[in-house]
Structure 1
Amino acid sequence: MLTVVGCLVEAHDFRLVALAAAICALSALTTVCLISHASRARAWAQAGWLAVAATAGGSGIWATHFIAMLAFAPGVPSGYDVALTGISLVIAVALAGSGLSLAVLVGGRTAAWAGGAILGFGIAAMHYTGMAAYDVAGHKTWDPATVAVSLALGGILGGAALVAQVGARGLVRQLPAALLLLLAICSHHFTAMGAVTITPDPTLAVSEAAVPNAWLAVAVALASFAILLLAAAALTLDVRDRGHAQVEADRLRSLANAAVEGLVVCTGDTIVSANRAFAKLVGLPQAALAGTALSAHLPGDTARLALASHPERPVEAELRLADGALVPVEIIMQSVEYGGRPHFAVAVRDLRARRQAESQIQFLAHHDALTGLANRASFAKRIDQELRAADASGRKLAVLCLDLDRFKEVNDLFGHAAGDAMLESVARIVSAELDDTQMMARLGGDEFAVLMPCAGPSEAGRLAERILEALRAGRTDGGGPQIATSIGIALYPDDAQERAALLSYADTALYRAKSEGRGTYRFFEAKMGVEVRERRLLEHDLRHAVARGEMQLVYQPQTDVGTGEVIGFEALLRWKHPERGYVSPAVFIPIAEESDAILQIGEWVLREACREAATWPQPLAVAVNVSAVQIHSPHLVGLVHEVLLKTGLAPYRLEVEVTETALISDPNRALLTLRQLKALGLRIAMDDFGTGYSSLSNLRSFPFDKIKIDGSFVRSVDSNEQTAAIVRSVLGLGRGLGLPVLAEGVETEAELGFLVAERCHEAQGYLMGRPSPIGEFAQYTHGTIPLIADARKRA
Structure 2
Amino acid sequence: MLAVVGCLAEAHDFRLVALAAAICALSALTTVCLVSHARRAEGWAQGGWLAVAATAGGSGIWATHFIAMLAFAPGVPSGYDVALTGLSLVIAVALAGSGLSLAVLVGGKVAAWVGGAVLGLGIAAMHYTGMAAYDVAGHKAWDPAIVGASLALGGVLGGAALAAQLGARGLARQLPAALLLLLAICSHHFVAMGAVTVTPDPTLAVSASAVPNAWLAVAVALASFAILLLAGAALALDVRDRRHSKLEAERLHSLANAAVEGLVVCTGDTVVSANRSFAKLVGLPQAALAGTALSAYLPGDAAWLAVAGQPERPVEAEIRQADGTLVPVEVIMQPVEHAGRPHYAVAVRDLRARRQAESQIQFLAHHDALTGLANRASFGKRLDQEMRAADACGRKLAVLCLDLDRFKEVNDLFGHATGDAMLESVACIVSDELDDAQMVARLGGDEFAVLAPCDRPSEAGRLAERILEALRSGRPDAGGPQIATSIGIALYPDDAQERAALLSYADTALYRAKSEGRGTYRFFEARMGVEVRERRLLEHDLRHAVARGEMHLVYQPQTDVGSGAVIGFEALLRWKHPERGFVSPAVFIPIAEESDAILRIGEWVLREACREAATWPHPLSIAVNVSAVQIHSPHFVGLVHEVLLKTGLAAHRLEVEVTETALISDPNRALLTLRQLKSLGLRIAMDDFGTGYSSLSNLRSFPFDKIKIDGSFVRSVDSNEQTAAIVRSVLGLGRGLGLPVLAEGVETEAEFGFLAAEQCHAAQGYLMGRPSPIGQFSQHTHGTVPVTDENRKRA
TM range (shorter): 0.7 to 0.9
The 8 Å contact of residues 2 and 199 in structure 1, kept in 2 or not, is answered as yes
Per-residue deviation at 1:591? 1.4
2:677 alignment counterpart: 677
Distance 1:480 1:750, change over 3 A: closer
1:318 alignment counterpart: 316
Structure 1 gaps of 5+ residues are 143-147, 309-314, 786-795
Q: What CA deviation, in whole Å up to 9, does each residue of 1:106-143 have, x standing for no partner?
A: 79xxxx9x99x99999999999989998888599999x
Per-residue deviation at 1:561? 1.0
Per-residue deviation at 1:24? 1.9
Aligned counterparts of 2:249 and 2:164: Cα–Cα separation in 1:
30
**Partner secondary structure for residue 528 of structure 1:** helix
Per-residue deviation at 1:517? 2.1
Per-residue deviation at 1:434? 3.0
2:793 alignment counterpart: none
Aligned counterparts of 2:564 and 2:510: Cα–Cα separation in 1:
50
2:771 alignment counterpart: 771
2:614 alignment counterpart: 614
Per-residue deviation at 1:599? 1.1
Q: What CA deviation, in whole Å up to 9, does each residue of 1:196-239 have, x standing for no partner?
A: 9989766997999x998749957984996699589769969987
Structure 1 residue identity aligned to 2:675: R
Of residues 752-761 and 210-219 in structure 1, the stretch that sits farther from structure 2 once superposed is 210-219
TM-score w.r.t. structure 1 length?
0.77
- 1:433 correspondence with 2:433: yes
Superposed, which structure 2 residues align to 1:299-378 within 5 Å? 299-302=303-306, 305=309, 315-318=313-316, 323=321, 325-329=326-330, 357=357, 359-378=359-378
2:552 alignment counterpart: 552
Q: What CA deviation, in whole Å up to 9, does each residue of 1:287-307 have, x standing for no partner?
A: 978999899879544466555
Aligned counterparts of 1:192 and 1:695: Cα–Cα separation in 2:
132
1:449 alignment counterpart: 449
Aligned counterparts of 1:478 and 1:670: Cα–Cα separation in 2:
17
1:566 alignment counterpart: 566
The 8 Å contact of residues 576 and 582 in structure 1, kept in 2 or not, is answered as yes
Per-residue deviation at 1:709? 1.1
Of residues 539-548 and 181-190 in structure 1, the stretch that sits farther from structure 2 once superposed is 181-190
**Partner secondary structure for residue 574 of structure 1:** strand
Structure 2 residue identity aligned to 1:467: I
The 8 Å contact of residues 78 and 137 in structure 1, kept in 2 or not, is answered as no
Superposed, which structure 2 residues align to 1:301-700 within 5 Å? 301-302=305-306, 305=309, 315-318=313-316, 323=321, 325-329=326-330, 357=357, 359-475=359-475, 480-700=480-700
Distance 1:564 1:255, change over 3 A: same
Distance 1:187 1:337, change over 3 A: closer
The 8 Å contact of residues 17 and 68 in structure 2, kept in 1 or not, is answered as yes
**Partner secondary structure for residue 573 of structure 1:** strand
The 8 Å contact of residues 263 and 345 in structure 1, kept in 2 or not, is answered as no
The 8 Å contact of residues 657 and 687 in structure 1, kept in 2 or not, is answered as yes
2:789 alignment counterpart: none
Structure 1 residue identity aligned to 2:472: R
Of residues 400-409 and 774-783 in structure 1, the stretch that sits farther from structure 2 once superposed is 774-783
The 8 Å contact of residues 560 and 761 in structure 1, kept in 2 or not, is answered as yes
Aligned counterparts of 1:331 and 1:181: Cα–Cα separation in 2:
43
The 8 Å contact of residues 743 and 763 in structure 2, kept in 1 or not, is answered as yes
Of residues 753-762 and 530-539 in structure 1, the stretch that sits farther from structure 2 once superposed is 530-539
Aligned counterparts of 1:292 and 1:724: Cα–Cα separation in 2:
103
Distance 1:470 1:206, change over 3 A: farther
Distance 1:642 1:274, change over 3 A: farther
Per-residue deviation at 1:34? 3.8
Per-residue deviation at 1:707? 0.9
Aligned counterparts of 2:35 and 2:271: Cα–Cα separation in 1:
22
Aligned counterparts of 2:246 and 2:464: Cα–Cα separation in 1:
77
Per-residue deviation at 1:624? 1.0
Distance 1:199 1:332, change over 3 A: closer
2:792 alignment counterpart: none
Superposed, which structure 2 residues align to 1:168-247 within 5 Å? 169-170=170-171, 214=213, 217=216, 221=220
**Partner secondary structure for residue 685 of structure 2:** strand
Distance 1:118 1:687, change over 3 A: same
Of residues 769-778 and 502-511 in structure 1, the stretch that sits farther from structure 2 once superposed is 769-778
Distance 1:623 1:274, change over 3 A: farther
Q: What CA deviation, in whole Å up to 9, does each residue of 1:579-620 have, x standing for no partner?
A: 222222222211111111111111111111111111111111
Q: What CA deviation, in whole Å up to 9, does each residue of 1:638-660 have, x standing for no partner?
A: 11111111111111111111111
TM-score w.r.t. structure 2 length?
0.77
Q: What CA deviation, in whole Å up to 9, does each residue of 1:374-423 have, x standing for no partner?
A: 32233223322322232223222221111001101101110112112211
Distance 1:87 1:616, change over 3 A: closer
Distance 1:86 1:680, change over 3 A: closer
Aligned counterparts of 1:163 and 1:254: Cα–Cα separation in 2:
28
Aligned counterparts of 1:300 and 1:44: Cα–Cα separation in 2:
43
Per-residue deviation at 1:58? 7.3
The 8 Å contact of residues 400 and 488 in structure 2, kept in 1 or not, is answered as yes
Structure 1 residue identity aligned to 2:557: P
Of residues 435-444 and 591-600 in structure 1, the stretch that sits farther from structure 2 once superposed is 435-444
Distance 1:640 1:346, change over 3 A: same
Aligned counterparts of 2:57 and 2:385: Cα–Cα separation in 1:
87
Per-residue deviation at 1:71? 2.5
1:781 alignment counterpart: 781
Q: Count residues with an aligned counterpart.
A: 767
1:60 alignment counterpart: 60
Aligned counterparts of 2:89 and 2:49: Cα–Cα separation in 1:
23
Q: What CA deviation, in whole Å up to 9, does each residue of 1:543-569 have, x standing for no partner?
A: 122122222222111111111111111
Per-residue deviation at 1:461? 2.4
Distance 1:600 1:663, change over 3 A: same
Aligned counterparts of 1:739 and 1:767: Cα–Cα separation in 2:
24
**Partner secondary structure for residue 778 of structure 2:** helix
The 8 Å contact of residues 715 and 745 in structure 2, kept in 1 or not, is answered as yes
Per-residue deviation at 1:733? 0.9
The 8 Å contact of residues 396 and 454 in structure 2, kept in 1 or not, is answered as yes
Structure 2 residue identity aligned to 1:669: R
Of residues 316-325 and 735-744 in structure 1, the stretch that sits farther from structure 2 once superposed is 316-325
**Partner secondary structure for residue 575 of structure 1:** strand
Structure 1 residue identity aligned to 2:315: A
Aligned counterparts of 1:756 and 1:191: Cα–Cα separation in 2:
152
Per-residue deviation at 1:636? 1.2
The 8 Å contact of residues 256 and 263 in structure 1, kept in 2 or not, is answered as no
Of residues 764-773 and 342-351 in structure 1, the stretch that sits farther from structure 2 once superposed is 342-351
Structure 2 residue identity aligned to 1:169: G
**Partner secondary structure for residue 643 of structure 1:** helix
Distance 1:480 1:289, change over 3 A: farther
The 8 Å contact of residues 511 and 532 in structure 1, kept in 2 or not, is answered as yes
Structure 1 residue identity aligned to 2:723: T
1:740 alignment counterpart: 740
The 8 Å contact of residues 23 and 224 in structure 1, kept in 2 or not, is answered as no
Aligned counterparts of 1:670 and 1:263: Cα–Cα separation in 2:
63
Aligned counterparts of 1:338 and 1:192: Cα–Cα separation in 2:
42
Structure 2 gaps of 5+ residues are 144-148, 786-795
- CA RMSD of the aligned region, Å? 6.1
**Partner secondary structure for residue 453 of structure 1:** strand
Aligned counterparts of 2:90 and 2:206: Cα–Cα separation in 1:
18
Aligned counterparts of 2:584 and 2:332: Cα–Cα separation in 1:
73
Q: What CA deviation, in whole Å up to 9, does each residue of 1:156-202 have, x standing for no partner?
A: 9x9999999996625xx589769967986899699979999989766
